[in-house]
Amino acid sequence: MARGELLVLGASGFLGPHLVAAAMKAGWCVSAASRTPSRAPRIDGQAPDAEVDWNAESAGATVGLIDGVRPGAIVLAAALARVDACERDPARAFALNAELPRAVARLARARGIRLVHVSTDLVFGARPAREARYSEADAPSPVHVYGRSKAEGEAGALAENPAALVVRLPLLYGDSGGRGLGASDQLLVALARGERPALFTDEWRTPLEVGNAARALVECLARDERGFLHVAGPERLNRLELGLAILAARGLTPAEAAERVRAALRADLGLAELRPRDACLDASRARALLATPLRAPRAALTGALP
């Protein structure tokens, strides 16, 4: 049975096509909006009911899109997500990551639309978590423009629409439809080019497979939670450990995998100040609330990668 009309904003990124597929399977009628809808792959063969060319940087286009579709729910997954791009163009980063969520939240509240806004673990890192990992009660402490812009977007969205839900996601990996996006496909593309990528041993995250994240987000649409929710994997891994797990899932032995990559410190590449040492999320609340299991990489990778 159809659940109603869902508008996915930012449907051609890494997460977006997985959101479309998960929502279609859950019975939503999905309109997928992005600046490049033709580039979005079909995950599990799932095509949205409608694809819309949308300029996220145009306030008028956003109003027209929402009023044209008249959805019952919105997932806002659009963002300027590359850390280096945000550092080069802070104004654009704040326009897309802070001003856009505030505007969408205001429109959703005025029209009675359920809003789930996608944020990131990288709003943390400058200060340590109060406990072993960052919970929803920890105040943001970003280390770069991307993190600061996303933190401002979270606050703005909830100020405009207190009924909205902000879901912070961790480092995502999994199938990007051959586009080299996400932690696993980026690694595999680098290896295919003959590179020996540097993977950090001093950067800790709680990675989650992108389809798993999408299914959890779609489940959140039908729930009444508001405020913040951390949706992340159960394991605390550094980037090298995740990379070795990815290569093991491709059939490499531990010795073979170790030969294909090189261990590094953030400082070795001059990135100690731009990448947080630890941005691990505590997703215990999400695990208690959601029926969707949040799987560890070693359990998810075999089925997640082609």
Read off the pLDDT of residues 164-202 as tens digits, 9 standing for 90 and up: 999 999 999 999 998 999 999 999 999 999 999 999 999
Whole-number pLDDT of residue 4: 87
Domains in the chain: boundaries: 4-174+208-236+279-297
Please give the model's pTM, rounded to 2 decimal places.
Answer: 0.95
Whole-number pLDDT of residue 189: 96
Q: Bridge partners of 76?
A: 9, 117
Q: Please name the residue that has the structure tokens 């997928």.
A: 32
Residues 121-138: what's their mean pLDDT?
97
Residues 119-133: what's their mean pLDDT?
97
Q: Which of 63, 230, 52, 69 is nearest to 135 (CA)?
A: 230
What is the CATH architecture of 4-174+208-236+279-297? 3-Layer(aba) Sandwich (3.40)
Contact status, residue 161 vs residue 106, Cβ threshold 8 Å: yes
Contacting residues for 137 by C-beta, under 8 A, at least 6 apart: 130
Residues 130-143: what's their mean pLDDT?
97
Contact status, residue 289 vs residue 223, Cβ threshold 8 Å: yes
